Amino acid sequence: MWWAWGKMWKCLLRTKIIGGKGYNSWIVLIKGMSGIGKTALARKIYNHPTIIQHFEPRAWVSNSAHFTIKELLIKLIQQVEDPQNLHSSSLLENMDNESLRDMLYQHLKGTRYFVVLDDVPKQMHLKSFLQILPEGSGNGSRLLLTSHMMHVDIYVRDENVHQMKPLDAEKSWQLFLKTINHGNRLTGEHKFPKSLEHMGKQMLRKCDGLPLAIKEVGKQLAEKKVSEGIEWEQLLESVDFGSMLKLLEPFYLQLDPKLESCFLCMAFFKESTTLRKEKLKQIWVAGGVVDSAYKCKSYLDGLINESVIDVKEKSTEYRMNALLHMLSIQKQRKN
């Protein structure tokens, strides 16, 4: 069953988080493009009974592009402090960073803590943050990161990187049904009909296994069905994928500036086509994106690192999510 794989992933990650040994095992990274389910997976792990029982204290911080170290320190302190000795937010805000670091260190020292940094922004200096935390490798403490990219200022072992993959067709369909038939005021005869399963799956191919997009489509269709009463066939034919592209806009804006032109060149390929290394080089050089084929490797590595493209079975072949391809076409037209 589709959900069995999800359970297996969570089980493997929990085992890795609890059982890893040594300095290079204490950082675990969940990596993948926006909307692929990194936060959802991390949250299920964070709230799992075995994790709750194994770690004390635990802390979760969702980051943003404008997050400061001081804000991060305060959020962490508020979660790891003894509830009976909580400092007020105003008191913490009046403290300098050095005092906050010392306070956090004292709270975590000697404990087996579990800290999650969700959606780590590109500009965050993780090395500086790690210096705030007590050494966690010796006592089994863990730091779990979610990000669309690898961060050059820290080292994460390959076996500690969980690369998120799009859902397959069956998992995508089950998530769509769960989204559209539950919590959207659809009852009885208004629920999505089984007779339109084939048509629905064809429409869903545009989402290319991206959970964020699948949920958005389900929500959009359910709302229109409830408010306008349009027939399901018409609804499936009129899905607005523009709203999905807006959800991916922040992902595009975070791209390394030197990769932006490479991303726009993806519009020259057909949707879901296999991207071959030599063809990419030809287009980039011909378009003036890079001045020599020799430099293309760093651009390819950059696109892989930032989860724009995935490596297929052969190391010289790549693929791009269908919605990211749609976004590249949209941006190409505006340029």
Distance CA 332, CA 335 (A): 5
In a domain, 29, yes or no: yes
Q: Which of 222, 240, 258 is at the close of a domain?
A: 240
Residues 178 and 131 in one domain: no
In sequence order, what DSSP letters do the residues of 215-281 get, joined into one string?
HHHHHHHHHHHHHH---HHHHHHT--THHHHHHHHHHHHTS-HHHHHHHHHGGGSPTTPPEEHHHHH
Q: Check whether 22 has a pLDDT greater than 60.
A: no
Average pLDDT, the chain: 85
% of the chain surpassing 90 pLDDT: 42
Residues 41 and 157 in one domain: yes
Residues 230 and 197 in one domain: yes
Cβ atoms of residues 326 and 245 within 8 Å: yes
pTM: 0.88
Q: Check whether 91 has a pLDDT greater than 80.
A: yes
In a domain, 9, yes or no: no
Per-residue pLDDT reduced to its tens digit, 33-76: 999 999 999 999 999 999 999 999 999 999 766 678 888 889 99
With 0-12 / 13-18 / 19 or more C-beta atoms within 10 angstroms meaning exposed / middle / buried, residue 33 is: buried
pLDDT reported for residue 272:
82
> Ramachandran region of residue 85, left (φ > 0), alpha (ψ -120 to 50) or beta?
alpha
Those residues whose C-beta lies under 8 Å from the C-beta of residue 289, and which sit 6 or more positions away, are: 261, 262, 265, 283, 299
Residues 25 and 126 in one domain: yes
Cβ atoms of residues 35 and 248 within 8 Å: yes
Residues 183 and 64 in one domain: no
Residues 212 and 283 in one domain: no
In a domain, 211, yes or no: yes
Residue 268: CA count within 13 A, CB half-sphere: 14
pLDDT reported for residue 230:
85
In a domain, 106, yes or no: yes
Domain containing 310 equals 248-334
pLDDT reported for residue 204:
94
Position 207 confidence tier, pLDDT thresholds 50, 70, 90: very high
Residues 44 and 154 in one domain: yes
Residues 218 and 320 in one domain: no
Give the three-state DSSP class for 232: helix
Position 263 confidence tier, pLDDT thresholds 50, 70, 90: very high
Residues 41 and 117 in one domain: yes
C-alpha closest to that of 136 among 163, 154, 158: 154
The domain that contains 25 carries what CATH number? 3.40.50.300
Residues 183 and 94 in one domain: no
Give the three-state DSSP class for 271: coil
In a domain, 83, yes or no: yes
Position 10 confidence tier, pLDDT thresholds 50, 70, 90: low
pLDDT reported for residue 82:
76
Strands 114-118 and 58-62, bridge-based pairing: parallel
> Mean pLDDT lowest for which of 18-32, 133-147, 209-223?
18-32
Residues facing 29 on adjacent strands: 145, 161
> Ramachandran region of residue 141, left (φ > 0), alpha (ψ -120 to 50) or beta?
beta
Q: Check whether 24 has a pLDDT greater than 80.
A: no
Q: Which of 197, 221, 240 is at the close of a domain?
A: 240
Cβ atoms of residues 35 and 211 within 8 Å: yes
**CB count, 10 Å around CB of 295?**
13
Strands 309-311 and 142-147, bridge-based pairing: unpaired
Position 3 confidence tier, pLDDT thresholds 50, 70, 90: very low
The domain that contains 259 carries what CATH number? 1.10.10
Position 201 confidence tier, pLDDT thresholds 50, 70, 90: very high
Mean pLDDT across 69-90? 82
C-alpha closest to that of 210 among 30, 36, 327, 39: 36
In a domain, 7, yes or no: no
Number of domains the chain is built from: 3
In a domain, 1, yes or no: no
pLDDT reported for residue 4:
41
Distance CA 237, CA 90 (A): 53
Q: Max CA-CA distance within the chain?
A: 65
Residues 149 and 186 in one domain: no
Cβ atoms of residues 222 and 178 within 8 Å: no
Residues 151 and 203 in one domain: no
In a domain, 232, yes or no: yes
Give the three-state DSSP class for 319: strand
pLDDT: which is higher, 243 or 86: 243
Position 2 confidence tier, pLDDT thresholds 50, 70, 90: very low
Q: Which of 182, 214, 240 is at the close of a domain?
A: 240
